[in-house]
Amino acid sequence: MSTTPNGVHALVRRSHEERVLRVLRQNGAQSRNEIAARVGLSRTTVSEITSDLLGRGAIRVVDTDAVERVGSGRPAERLALDPASGQYMGVDFGHRRVNVLVADAAHDIIASGTARYEESAQWPERLDAGLALIDRLSAETGVHYGALQAIGIGVPGWGDRSRADGVAEVFAERFHAAVIVDNNVRFAGLAEALHAQSDTVRNLIYLRLSVGVGGGLVVGGQLVRGSKGYAGELGHVTAVPGGARCRCGKRGCVETVASVPAILGRCRELGVPADTLEDLKAAVEIAHPVVDQVLREAGTAVGQVLGTAAMTLNPDEIVLGGEIIEIAPALLRQVADTVTYELSWRTDAAPVIRPALLSDDGGARGAIAALFHESPLLAGYEANVTTDGGR
């Protein structure tokens, strides 16, 4: 292989270009200064590279940072991958609804919607609802999915490979695009880590308390799946040895004390008529002492498990999601107090503990983010862009 100075120069240049394109693919529109900071190249080098990429049509000026800019300097142009060069679809099948988001290569959401189904709906019905929604969005927005590069699909539960493969096959056949399928709670965790918009939140533990308790780990800015895909399933860590039977077959899992049905059930056991989250909300609003006690018990169990997980991973943030976190602040407080206690021997090890910030579409957002961030499906994508317009 030739190692002439010219050849070496071209290789270095190519590697710099790839780094700039990767930053734009992963982060969406960025100013030249932001790009320079993220890739660790000088502002001058980045200007040369972006000017070349702009000339070849691989990237575009999408807007300026005038809106968010503080101070009086000239607004800086923001650059992004050519929006028309690709579309990315995120789909999140929940227990009662499917969310769909479609983003262009510049990360702008160009279509989004939700369709509902009964919790008892089987997979064929859920898939039909999702595909009908995708058709409806196309009719409404004029987005025809012609440039669809990849689809990320979140599904509830864990470990059911045959169902995941079935879902992937239906979408791959329909759209002729690469498909990844993963747990939707895990995708929501990735979305929370990226939503922080700060490079300091690279390590995060996400836990969602809902009908079940699911979780996800983001380490070094990437989702962690582990060897068989169970990483972050903290809902099935034992919290109460010999406790209530869990749907996983064990006893006393976190899910048996901190899922929504478990918390409502415990309230009823202690004589508080709480059949729904609305009932619980009403009891919280009058500061019912028994409900407060139940929430503290659940928060302590969750906090002890998260404290152990935090010592294992030393995350920047622990994020709790699920409707019950919004309506019962005592629960999050007790989790935070417990984690802080567990880590009190190293106060600087304590992470930020906060409620989830993203709404119900976090799973679909995270699915798209996973496509942009880590998918080997897009390995050839940068090459496609850089050869556009040839030279």
Contacting positions for Zn ion (CB under 5 A): 236, 246, 248, 250, 253
Q: Whole-number minimum distance, CB 251 to Zn ion, in Å?
A: 8
341: Cβ contacts below 8 Å, ≥ 6 apart: 303, 307
Q: Which long-range contacts (CB under 8 A, 24 or more apart) does 118-127 make?
A: 119/95, 123/163, 123/166, 123/167, 126/93, 126/98, 127/167, 127/170
Looking at the Cβ atoms of 28 and 322, the one nearer to Zn ion is: 322
Please give the order of strands across the beta sheet that includes 77-81.
30-31, 77-81, 59-64
* Whether the Cβ atoms of residue 59 and residue 50 lie closer than 8 Å to each other: yes
Token readout for 240 is: 């109460």
Looking at the Cβ atoms of 246 and 350, the one nearer to Zn ion is: 246
Nearest to 379 by CA among 168, 178, 191, 184: 178
Token readout for 361 is: 């579409």
Looking at the Cβ atoms of 49 and 239, the one nearer to Zn ion is: 239
**Nearest-10 crossing angle of helices 5-27, 32-39:** 110
Looking at the Cβ atoms of 99 and 259, the one nearer to Zn ion is: 259
Looking at the Cβ atoms of 179 and 246, the one nearer to Zn ion is: 246
DSSP three-state, residue 32: helix
348: Cβ contacts below 8 Å, ≥ 6 apart: none
Q: Whole-number minimum distance, CB 233 to Zn ion, in Å?
A: 9
Q: Whole-number minimum distance, CB 225 to Zn ion, in Å?
A: 19
Q: What is the DSSP string of 271-303?
A: T----SHHHHHHHHHTT-HHHHHHHHHHHHHHH
Q: Whole-number minimum distance, CB 256 to Zn ion, in Å?
A: 7
Looking at the Cβ atoms of 228 and 391, the one nearer to Zn ion is: 228
Looking at the Cβ atoms of 246 and 335, the one nearer to Zn ion is: 246
Looking at the Cβ atoms of 213 and 310, the one nearer to Zn ion is: 213
Nearest to 186 by CA among 215, 208, 166, 213: 215
Q: Whole-number minimum distance, CB 160 to Zn ion, in Å?
A: 16
Q: Whole-number minimum distance, CB 106 to Zn ion, in Å?
A: 42
Q: Whole-number minimum distance, CB 237 to Zn ion, in Å?
A: 8
Looking at the Cβ atoms of 212 and 307, the one nearer to Zn ion is: 212
Nearest to 99 by CA among 372, 360, 369, 371: 360
Q: Whole-number minimum distance, CB 63 to Zn ion, in Å?
A: 48
Terminal-residue alpha carbon distance, the chain: 22
Lookup result for tokens 């990360």 = 107
Q: Whole-number minimum distance, CB 254 to Zn ion, in Å?
A: 8
Nearest to 76 by CA among 62, 86, 89: 62
